[in-house]
Chains A and B, each alone.
Chain A
Amino acid sequence: MSLPTTDEILDDLAFFDSWEERYKYIIDLGKALPAFPAELQTPDRLVKGCQSNVWLEIAGDNERIEFLVDSDAVIVKGLLVLVLAAYNNKSAQQILAFDIDAYFKQLDLERHISPTRGNGLKSIVARINSIAKAALA
């Protein structure tokens, strides 16, 4: 599947009235995320949160970095799709220039990036940024 863009996601989410619809949408995004090959679920690819595991693999080059992600929790997978919409297939410079905090604010995802939600969202953003920084170094 091709991932939705950040604009598509923001449009879709704005359409829903209830939290149930919003999260059903996120869950469906998570379910539609292509399966991550089991052999890639290795400790070095793990971005560990306290409550669920997140795996990250990179491909492509500095001009177009491709991210493969997976999680054992489906809501986290859906949230990862929201993150990937911002970062996938972008150049290292585009990645570093993206204002993720503003995007999260628009998504109204405060709860997900709060310190108690050990779901790795913040860690994955940090990991993606450090990959982009390393690519430019």
Chain B
Amino acid sequence: MSFNPAEIKKQFPILQRQIDGNPLVYLDNAATTQKPQAVLDALSHYYTHCNSNVHRGAHTLADEATRLYEAAREKVARFINAYDKKEVIWTAGTTEAINIVANGAKQLLKSGDEVIVTEMEHHANLVTWQQVCKISGASLKVAPITDDGELDVAAFQKLLNGNTRLVAMPHISNALGTINPLHELIPMAKSVNALVLVDGAQGIAHGDVDVQALGCDFYAFSGHKIFAPTGIGVLWGKAEILSDWPVWQTGGEMISVVTYDSATWGELPNRLEAGTPNIAGAVGLGAAIDWFSGLDLEAVKAHEQLLMQKAVELSTGVDGLIIKGNAPHKIGVFSFIIEGTHPADIGFLLDKQGIAIRTGDHCAQPLMKRLGVPGTARASFSIYNTVEDVEALFKALQKVKMMLM
């Protein structure tokens, strides 16, 4: 298969936009990815031809909608190599997926139990566990990172002991791009019989996710980080764990038998999916996975590394620019500061030139504190970004420097 980012870019209508008269250069892909025409078409087709509620209704539309919706679940299951499609629970996104696990954990953990997170967590995988610990009496342990933004594996191992009940960690850091060595870390956690939850928000579009090979118990991700709509995400969990996991929301769809005094819960996946789901979102995610899987994923990765190399190379020409996150294994996340300037000023003046990046604490305030910065400017690359986009970023940065200094 061939891979041509300029051709791919043409499949994303939004990338043809202009901002203040400049062509849009979208470099905020760690926040959300844009949607290809194939996904837009799937959404439009669903609402134009098949819209109906699923799993009920004695009519053709209901059948068609249910078929599309369940086919999307199968696509996700295949994409992440789940053991069974019933292990794929639809959620609103990564945050809700983590909260489903946290909601159960807070009922199951007790004083004396320990939960481990890392210093590179997004608030979604930090505040949730902090609150679980507060409510359950368990203690929260934080595995440190090095100055380069890599997890300190030896220190992580030292935190593990017979009281460790759960390890929650990101596959890939959203703020720094660091890829965690899950194949090393998960067996360590498993050696003390801890449950392992992987926050896959950044991993899903970059990490060759194979939940069986990883050996984790839960993997959470959002559709919108992999070219699908917002408002749809997935909690994958091993069937033997999820079938007894405390239910999340209660209501329709998730029950088996209901009386005025009691209710019994349905089977997986329904028991964790109360109410009418985001059907169009699921269909859109299925379409996004089809589209993404059609690409040469090795070439995609190589291209992203090329963009990153180009960024690092061009950054040496910007006085005072310091890259935050220098792990040897990282995705195309270019997080930086420029001495004597504030990230918000950089972001604003880049936007005036059509360059979209993210600035701030990236929902990781403790990590920013650890790095000794109030925040960073972050350019994050995706498959439709070109070397010209990276060059445009640095050309624009020169103007930013000129204006601010």
A and B part of one assembly:
yes
Which chain A residues lie closer than 8 Å to B375 at the CB level? 51
Which chain B residues lie closer than 8 Å to A23 at the CB level? 349, 352, 403
Which chain B residues lie closer than 8 Å to A74 at the CB level? 341-342, 345, 404
Residues 30 to 87 of chain A near chain B (Cβ within 8 Å): 50-53, 72-76
Which chain A residues lie closer than 8 Å to B348 at the CB level? 75
State which of A50, A53, A73 has its C-beta within 8 Å of the C-beta of B345: A73
Q: Is A96 an interface residue when CB atoms closer than 8 A count as contact?
A: no
Q: Is B223 an interface residue when CB atoms closer than 8 A count as contact?
A: no
**CB proximity of B103 to chain A, nearest CB, Å:** 27
- Name the CB-closest residue of B to A72: B342
State which of A19, A20, A27, A52 has its C-beta within 8 Å of the C-beta of B344: A52
Contact B374 A27 (CB under 8 A): no
Residue among B345, B349, B352, B399 with max Cβ neighbours from chain A (10 Å)? B345
Contact A51 B403 (CB under 8 A): no
Give bound CA distance, A27 to B344, whole Å. Answer: 13
Q: Is A91 an interface residue when CB atoms closer than 8 A count as contact?
A: no
Interface size (B, Cβ < 8 Å)? Answer: 17
**CB proximity of B87 to chain A, nearest CB, Å:** 36
- Name the CB-closest residue of A to B21: A19
Q: Is B231 an interface residue when CB atoms closer than 8 A count as contact?
A: no
Contact B345 A75 (CB under 8 A): yes
- Name the CB-closest residue of B to A78: B345
Contact A19 B345 (CB under 8 A): no
Q: Is B347 an interface residue when CB atoms closer than 8 A count as contact?
A: yes
Contact B20 A19 (CB under 8 A): yes
Q: Is B281 an interface residue when CB atoms closer than 8 A count as contact?
A: no
Give bound CA distance, A19 to B403, whole Å. Answer: 11
Contact B344 A75 (CB under 8 A): yes
**CB proximity of B214 to chain A, nearest CB, Å:** 34
Q: Is B343 an interface residue when CB atoms closer than 8 A count as contact?
A: yes
Residues 334 to 359 of chain B near chain A (Cβ within 8 Å): 341-345, 347-349, 352, 359
Q: Is B269 an interface residue when CB atoms closer than 8 A count as contact?
A: no
Q: Is B277 an interface residue when CB atoms closer than 8 A count as contact?
A: no
Which chain B residues lie closer than 8 Å to A24 at the CB level? 403
Contact B352 A51 (CB under 8 A): no
- Name the CB-closest residue of A to B403: A24
**CB proximity of B389 to chain A, nearest CB, Å:** 21
**CB proximity of A66 to chain B, nearest CB, Å:** 26
Residues 355-393 of B, flagged 1 when their CB comes within 8 A of A and 0 if not, give: 000011000000000000011000000000000000000
Which chain B residues lie closer than 8 Å to A53 at the CB level? 374
- Name the CB-closest residue of A to B351: A111
Give bound CA distance, A50 to B362, whole Å. Answer: 10
Contact B352 A73 (CB under 8 A): no
Residues 157 to 175 of chain B near chain A (Cβ within 8 Å): none
Which chain A residues lie closer than 8 Å to B343 at the CB level? 51
Which chain A residues lie closer than 8 Å to B341 at the CB level? 74
Which chain A residues lie closer than 8 Å to B352 at the CB level? 19, 23
State which of A20, A27, A51 has its C-beta within 8 Å of the C-beta of B359: A51
Which chain A residues lie closer than 8 Å to B403 at the CB level? 20, 23-24, 27
**CB proximity of A59 to chain B, nearest CB, Å:** 26
Residue among A20, A51, A75 with max Cβ neighbours from chain B (10 Å)? A51
**CB proximity of B178 to chain A, nearest CB, Å:** 23
Give bound CA distance, A72 to B360, whole Å. Answer: 12
Residues 101-116 of A, flagged 1 when their CB comes within 8 A of B and 0 if not, give: 0000000000000000
Give bound CA distance, A52 to B343, whole Å. Answer: 8
Contact A76 B404 (CB under 8 A): no
Contact B404 A50 (CB under 8 A): no
**CB proximity of A31 to chain B, nearest CB, Å:** 9
Residues 230-260 of B, flagged 1 when their CB comes within 8 A of A and 0 if not, give: 0000000000000000000000000000000
Give bound CA distance, A75 to B88, whole Å. Answer: 46
Give bound CA distance, A93 to B375, whole Å. Answer: 39
Give bound CA distance, A50 to B375, whole Å. Answer: 10
- Name the CB-closest residue of A to B341: A74
Residues 96-116 of B, flagged 1 when their CB comes within 8 A of A and 0 if not, give: 000000000000000000000
- Name the CB-closest residue of A to B359: A51
Contact B344 A51 (CB under 8 A): yes
What are 29 A-B contacts defined by CB distance under 8 Å? A19-B20, A19-B352, A20-B403, A23-B349, A23-B352, A24-B403, A27-B345, A27-B403, A27-B404, A50-B360, A51-B343, A51-B360, A52-B342, A52-B344, A52-B374, A53-B374, A72-B342, A73-B342, A73-B344, A73-B345, A74-B341, A74-B342, A75-B344, A75-B345, A75-B348, A75-B349, A76-B344, A118-B360, A119-B344
Query: Nearest 7 CB-CB pairs, A to B?
Result: A73-B342, A51-B344, A73-B344, A52-B344, A51-B360, A75-B345, A73-B345
List 16 other contacts, CB 8 Å, given A23-B403, A27-B403, A75-B345. A19-B352, A20-B399, A23-B349, A23-B352, A27-B345, A50-B360, A51-B359, A51-B360, A52-B344, A52-B374, A53-B374, A72-B342, A72-B374, A73-B342, A74-B404, A75-B344
